[in-house]
Amino acid sequence: MAKVIADLHVWQSRIGIVPEGEKVPENDPRKIIHTVLTYLSHNCGRMDYPRYRREGLPVTSSLAESLVKQISRRVKGTEKFWNDGPSGEAILQLRAAVISDGDRLQRWIVNRPTSPFSPRCRSRALGNSA
């Protein structure tokens, strides 16, 4: 990383810097080098990729992006519509229960809130077990 930063400093000195307050296009090489140099200088402590690889850590966001796509497909398939907000959160929780291992879905079905007019609630009110 130090070599890259040193090379960027050399390039910056060759082509110059953007004078403060001057408006330049986004593709101006002076601006690009300055932006990259600033980013790398501020973040080089978090960019120890050789060590990350040795430790078997991911060095890309592809794993997270893949998981997001997988969840999106399972939740947003055809004929799966809901509003944002509490109902959307409820659907996400239910879908997570359906696709997860364990007894989460069964526990939800047994303990879910129901209408006071359902036979299950009436039998509880009479002292019978559902």
Mean pLDDT of 70-75: 70
- My answer on whether 46 and 75 are in the same domain is no
- Comparing 81 with 53, the larger pLDDT belongs to 53
- My answer on whether 74 and 101 are in the same domain is yes
* Whole-number average pLDDT of the chain: 79
Q: Looking at residue 79, what is its pLDDT?
A: 61
- My answer on whether 34 and 66 are in the same domain is no
Number of domains in the chain: 2
- Comparing 97 with 87, the larger pLDDT belongs to 97
- My answer on whether 79 and 48 are in the same domain is no
Helix (H, G, I), strand (E, B), or coil: what is residue 44?
helix
Is 108 part of a structural domain of the chain?
yes
- My answer on whether 48 and 71 are in the same domain is no
Q: What is the pLDDT of residues 28-68, one digit of tens each?
A: 999 999 999 999 999 988 888 889 889 988 888 887 888 77
- My answer on whether 120 and 74 are in the same domain is yes
Q: Looking at residue 77, what is its pLDDT?
A: 66
Torsion of CA 14, 15, 17, 21, to 10 degrees: 160
Over 80: is that where the pLDDT of 76 sits? no
- My answer on whether 88 and 45 are in the same domain is no
**Which residues, at least 6 apart from 95, have a Cβ–Cβ distance to it below 8 Å?**
74, 75
- My answer on whether 78 and 30 are in the same domain is no
Range of the domain at 20: 2-54
- My answer on whether 121 and 70 are in the same domain is yes
Over 80: is that where the pLDDT of 11 sits? yes
How far is the C-alpha of 97 from the C-alpha of 116, rounded, in Å?
25
**pLDDT band, very low/low/confident/very high, at 126 (cuts 50, 70, 90):** very low
Q: Looking at residue 130, what is its pLDDT?
A: 47
- My answer on whether 49 and 67 are in the same domain is no
**pLDDT band, very low/low/confident/very high, at 103 (cuts 50, 70, 90):** confident
Distances (CA, A) of 39 to 8, 24, 98, 129: 12, 19, 43, 64
How far is the C-alpha of 124 from the C-alpha of 115, rounded, in Å?
12
Phi/psi zone of residue 127: left (φ > 0), alpha (ψ -120 to 50 degrees), beta?
left
- My answer on whether 80 and 119 are in the same domain is yes
